[in-house]
Amino acid sequence: MGKILIKGGLVLSMATDKPDLRITDVLIKGNQIEQIMKDIPEDGVDKVIDASGKVVMPGLINCHNHAAMVLLRGYCDDLRLMEWLSEKIWPAEDRLNGDDIYWGTMLAAAEMLKSGTTTFADMYFFMDEVATAVNDSGIRASLCQGLLFIDENVERRLNATQQLFENWHGKADGRITAMVGPHAPYTCPPESLKLVMDLAKDLNSAIHIHLAETTEEVNQMFKMYGKSPTKYLSDLGLFEEFHVLLVHAVNLSRDDIYLLKGLQGGISHNPVSNQKLGCGITPVKELRDLGVTVALGTDGAGSATTLDLFEEIKSAAWLQKNRLFDPTAITSYEVLKMATIEGAKALGLANEIGSLEVSKKADIILIDIEKPHLYPHNDICALLAYSVNGADVDTSIINGQVVMENRTLLSVNEREVMMKVRESARRITGQTVDIL
């Protein structure tokens, strides 16, 4: 089993309640962290990475994405969510084939790897192609097929999820896990959602679902069922029996917030997408105060436009401070936790990833802080949360494999991926600008 020694970095483990920063070494053996201590000898080590001048921390976890939507980045901005979805996004998605999805997911993986994300949760379709791209790019992912029940094809959709589990759950050296993914309360009537819950029970799976993204959705649910989307899911028993990854949870009443108390799983807060689509602000502080796990996600690049999770870190902090007129509402360390260990909890992977601890999987990023915009080094957590951007990530290791070193991707041919994506986008959007 290969051994990698990360030497002399400023290690931020994210494993403790208060920031725990020290200059020390990290030894990786196979896909795990073997030792964290000073002056680990180099004998028998296959590769030494000099981390002086760099922060060594757990890779970031993006808890909600539709990765291949990078193909639609910048295609149709500045529209209302329902109009954006039904008039532009859904028709464009109908034109996507498996090849488009593979290359789109490869592009998204490249972007995530280059900005510090080592794990992402995805909800999309053509999940075989998504999983193949995850396998090829070296990233870690929790995948689900998006299940919308707006026509007659219920059986076919449920079968696709079953296939995803059979083909990919636990595969790619354990980097891929699967979930069941009903799209949202407004696209899943009660009888379909019950079938989905039965399937999740059979597969012993967690459930990944959008919730209360817009006020329109809440109004629609009141019209259809006389209750809020949160109450709708709660009444169906979703929060009692399952580990649930709730996405957005923006438009919650006080009663809705209390329904989420004791939630197994967590919430993916996606502040950039929410701001861009004018959806509102998730009551992160209230939820965290009740002990609910709140993690971070980008959502698809169709809305978020970027997959750089450092943008979400900044936005999440600033939105709560501004909403509550209170700069103490959330600290830099708390928001870094949302991007790491809280993300691992939301995905049900907290025993494996999310912090740097002996015997956890080696998902590690090195951030170069020897740069003008990151000087001086007064408060490292504030620097990481408020000043660093994705391009400052220098090296990424996933499952003990170096996937990016000195900003060069080792697992993805960037140029090839960009050219393939350009071909796909030309066909799908018909509005690409060629500058080369």
129 vs 299, which CB is nearer to Zn ion? 299
Neighbours of 237 (CB within 10 A): 12
Q: How many CA atoms lie within 13 A of 101 on its CB side?
A: 20
Using alpha carbons, select from 163, 133, 132 the residue that is nearest to residue 145. 163
208 vs 360, which CB is nearer to Zn ion? 208
Least separation in angstroms between CB 66 and Zn ion: 6
Least separation in angstroms between CB 64 and Zn ion: 6
Q: How many CA atoms lie within 13 A of 239 on its CB side?
A: 20
64 vs 140, which CB is nearer to Zn ion? 64
Neighbours of 412 (CB within 10 A): 22
Q: How many CA atoms lie within 13 A of 129 on its CB side?
A: 18
Which stretch in 168-176, 291-299, 342-350, 400-408 sits in contact with Zn ion by CB under 5 A?
Answer: 291-299
299 vs 342, which CB is nearer to Zn ion? 299
250 vs 339, which CB is nearer to Zn ion? 250
What region does 305 belong to: left with phi over 0, alpha with psi -120 to 50, or beta? left
- Kindly state the number of chain residues that form the binding site for Zn ion, as judged by CB under 5 A: 1
Least separation in angstroms between CB 321 and Zn ion: 25
> Contact 95/428 with Cβ under 8 angstroms?
yes
What lies within 8 Å, CB to CB, of 405 at 6+ separation is: 49, 394, 395
Least separation in angstroms between CB 209 and Zn ion: 10
Q: Is 363 in the site for Zn ion (CB under 5 A)?
A: no
Least separation in angstroms between CB 300 and Zn ion: 6
> Contact 49/42 with Cβ under 8 angstroms?
no
Least separation in angstroms between CB 39 and Zn ion: 46
55 vs 301, which CB is nearer to Zn ion? 301
Residue nearest to Zn ion (CB): 299
- State the Cα–Cα distance between residues 177 and 127, nearest whole angstrom: 12
12 vs 267, which CB is nearer to Zn ion? 267
Least separation in angstroms between CB 268 and Zn ion: 9
Q: How many CA atoms lie within 13 A of 363 on its CB side?
A: 29
What lies within 8 Å, CB to CB, of 376 at 6+ separation is: none
Task: Write each residue from 292 to 321 as x if it is in contact with Zn ion (CB under 5 A), else as -, in one continuous string.
Answer: -------x----------------------
Name the residues that contact Zn ion, by CB under 5 A. Answer: 299
